[in-house]
Amino acid sequence: MSSIRNDESSVEERVLAAAAACVLAVGVKRVTMTEIARRARMSRPTIYRRWSDTNGVLGALMTSRIAGVLDAIPGGGGRDREALVQRVVAVAEHLRNDDVVMSVLHDAPDFAMVYIAERLGTSQMILVDALAQAISAAQADGSVRQGDPQQLAAMCLLITQSTIQSAQMVEKLLDRDTLNAELARSLNGYLAP
């Protein structure tokens, strides 16, 4: 017997996969609930039971893609500042290479700007919380300066988020490897005791 939770999870996975396919096929601004439903092979009312509009689906998609990067780039290389910075740089590179995330950032600036300039989204809070835990562990071994881990994590988010958003703008000046090295240098300098 399948559980309701598994069915709900399956619906969400199908809808988010369909929304991602729509973003890549027609662009963020042209994604509709009708097209998402068609690609997910389900009715619009099924989707509307979970999300009230397309922006809700796109928000859930972005949360899934951004927060999901923590699973794609596991931490395990140590608990010191160097390991923490390496993971942040790897997460940033992963997100810069995510076609869906970058499409939303570049093709739907009004949608993205809410999470860039107005408020922290769910995915950003997940990243800040994970980073704060890593900072706290690195503070315990003395490799990260003292300070409130949440505040330090929020500042690291701002530095990294800016790098992700602006990487395309400076790609003639900073190739991939240089950008990663400079981001690491910035984070190391900020977090050093």
For residue 40, the domain's CATH number is 1.10.10.60
Q: Of 90, 111, 114, 89, nearest to 100 (Cα)? A: 111
pLDDT at 1: 40
Residues 39 and 84 grouped into a single domain = no
Q: Which CATH number fits the domain that encloses residue 84? A: 1.10.357
Tokens of 90: 């790897």
Q: What letters, b where the CB count within 10 A reaches 16 and e where it falls short, cover 54-67?
A: beebbbbbbbbbbb
Q: Which range of residues forms the domain containing residue 54?
A: 4-61
Q: Which of 15, 46, 61 is the last residue of a domain?
A: 61
Residues 77 and 19 grouped into a single domain = no
CA separation for the pair 16, 180 (Å, rounded): 30
CA separation for the pair 16, 76 (Å, rounded): 29
pLDDT at 8: 66
Residues 141 and 187 grouped into a single domain = yes
Residues 39 and 124 grouped into a single domain = no
Q: What letters, b where the CB count within 10 A reaches 16 and e where it falls short, cover 93-114?
A: bbbbebebbbebbeebeebbee
* 122 burial type by CB count under 10 A (0-12 exposed, 13-18 middle, 19+ buried): middle
pTM of the model: 0.88
Residues 181 and 161 grouped into a single domain = yes
Q: Of 113, 26, 9, nearest to 64 (Cα)? A: 9
CA separation for the pair 42, 188 (Å, rounded): 48
Q: Which of 61, 87, 104 is the last residue of a domain?
A: 61
Q: How many separate domains does the chain show?
A: 2
A 10 A CB-CB count for 85 gives 24
Residues 21 and 103 grouped into a single domain = no
Q: Of 18, 27, 95, nearest to 63 (Cα)? A: 95
Residues 166 and 116 grouped into a single domain = yes
Residues 75 and 162 grouped into a single domain = yes
CA separation for the pair 158, 178 (Å, rounded): 19
pLDDT digits (tens), the chain, 193 positions: 444 444 667 899 999 999 999 999 999 999 999 999 999 999 999 999 999 999 999 999 999 999 899 889 988 778 999 999 999 999 999 999 999 999 988 888 788 777 777 788 889 999 999 999 999 999 999 999 999 999 999 999 999 999 999 999 999 999 999 999 999 999 999 999 9
Q: Which of 14, 40, 61 is the last residue of a domain?
A: 61
pLDDT at 7: 63
CA separation for the pair 144, 130 (Å, rounded): 15
Residues 104 and 121 grouped into a single domain = yes
pLDDT at 4: 45
Residues 87 and 18 grouped into a single domain = no
Interacting residues of 160 by C-beta distance below 8 A, sequence separation 6+: 88, 91, 92, 183, 187
Compute CA 70 distance to the chain's CA centroid, rounded to the nearest angstrom: 9
Residues 44 and 73 grouped into a single domain = no
Residues 44 and 138 grouped into a single domain = no
